[in-house]
Chains A and B, each alone.
Chain A
Amino acid sequence: MSRLKTIVRDQHGVQPLAGGHSLCQGCGIPVVVRTVLGSLHKPAVVVNATGCLEVATTRFPTTAWNVPWLHVAFENAAAVASGVESAQRVLRRRNGLPQEADVAVVVFAGDGGTYDIGLQALSGALERGHRLLYVCYDNEAYMNTGVQRSGATPYGASTTTSPAGLDSFGKAQQRKDMTAIAVAHGVPYAAQACSAFWFDLARKAERGAAADGPAFLNVLSDCPVGWGHDPRVGPRVLASAVETRFWPLYEIVDGEYRLTYQPRKRVPIEDWLTGQKRFAHLRQPQVAVIQRQVDADWEKLLARCAD
Chain B
Amino acid sequence: MPDLELLTGGEAVAHAMRQVDPDVVPVYPITPQTPIIQGFAKFVADGKAHGELIDVESEHSAMSAAIGSALAGARTMTATSSQGLALMAEVVYIAAAMRAPIVMALGNRALSGPINIHCDHSDSMLIRDSGVVQLFVENAQEAYDMTVLAPRLAEHPDVLLPVLVCQDGFTITHSAEPVELLADAAVRRFVGEYEVPHALLDLERPATQGPFAMPDYYFELRRAQVAALEAALRAFKDVSVELTRLTGRPLTSVERYRLADAETVVVAMGSTAGTLKEGVDALREDGEQVGLLRVVSFRPFPRVAVARALSIARTVVVLDRADSPGGAPPLFAEVASALYGSGTELRGHVFGLGGRELHPEDLREIVSREAPTYVGLRSDPCPA
A45 to B214, CA, bound (A): 25
Q: A72-B67, A86-B54, A88-B201 are in contact. Are A79 and B206 (CB under 8 A)?
A: no
Q: Which residues of A contact B (CB under 8 A)?
A: 43, 45, 47-48, 54-55, 58-61, 63, 65-73, 75-76, 79-91, 94, 96-97, 101, 103, 120-121, 123-124, 127-128
Total contacts A to B, CB within 8 angstroms? 162
Say whether B90 faces chain A, with CB atoms less than 8 Å apart. yes
Q: Determine which residue in B94, B203, B217 has the highest number of CB atoms from chain A within 10 A of its CB, and name it.
A: B203
- Min Cβ gap A23→B in Å is 13
CB distance from A24 to the nearest CB of B (A): 16
**In the assembled complex, which residues on chain A have CB atoms less than 8 Å from the CB atom of B209?**
68-71
Let me know if B186 is at the binding interface, CB within 8 A. Answer: no
B98 contacts across to A, CB distance below 8 A:
72
**CB distance B74 to A58 under 8 Å?**
no
Tell which of B56-64, B106-114, B255-263, B333-341 binds the partner: B56-64
Q: In the complex where A87-B73, A87-B201, A91-B23 touch, is A58 in contact with B64 (Cβ < 8 A)?
A: no
Q: Are A94 and B50 in contact (CB under 8 A)?
A: yes
**A58 / chain B contacts, CB cutoff of 8 Å:** 208, 210-212
Do B57 and A83 touch across chains, with their CB atoms under 8 A apart? no
Is the Cβ of A120 less than 8 Å from the Cβ of B58? yes
Chain B 26-46: CB-based contact to A (< 8 A → 1; otherwise 0): 100000000000000000000
Bound-state CA distance A139–B224 (Å) is: 37
Chain B residues at the A interface, C-beta cutoff of 8 Å? 23-24, 26, 50-52, 54-58, 60-62, 64-74, 76, 90-91, 94, 98, 200-203, 206-214, 217, 221
- Name 12 extra pairs, CB < 8 A, besides A48-B210, A58-B210, A120-B61: A60-B211, A70-B68, A70-B209, A71-B209, A73-B90, A73-B94, A79-B61, A79-B68, A83-B66, A90-B24, A120-B58, A121-B58
Shortest C-beta distance, A16 to chain B (Å), equals: 9
The answer on a CB contact under 8 Å between A80 and B206 is no
Which residues of B are found within 8 Å of A94, using beta-carbon distances?
23, 50
User: Could you tell me if B23 and A87 are in contact, using CB atoms closer than 8 angstroms?
Assistant: yes
Q: Which A residues lie within 8 Å of B91 (CB)?
A: 72-73, 76
State A80–B61 Cα separation when bound (angstroms). 7
* Nearest CB in chain A to that of B25: its residue: A86
The docked-state distance in angstroms from the alpha carbon of A89 to that of B76 is: 14
Supposing A79-B56, A96-B73 touch, asked if A87 and B212 sit within 8 A by C-beta, the answer is: no
Complex contact B73–A121 (CB within 8 A): no
Question: What are 17 inter-chain pairs, A to B, with CB distance below 8 A?
Answer: A45-B203, A47-B68, A58-B210, A59-B214, A70-B68, A70-B71, A70-B210, A72-B94, A73-B91, A82-B65, A83-B26, A83-B70, A86-B24, A87-B23, A90-B51, A94-B23, A124-B56
Known: A72-B94, A76-B61. A83 touches B23 (CB 8 A): no
Q: Given A76-B91, A124-B61, do A60 and B66 touch, yes or no (CB 8 Å)? A: no
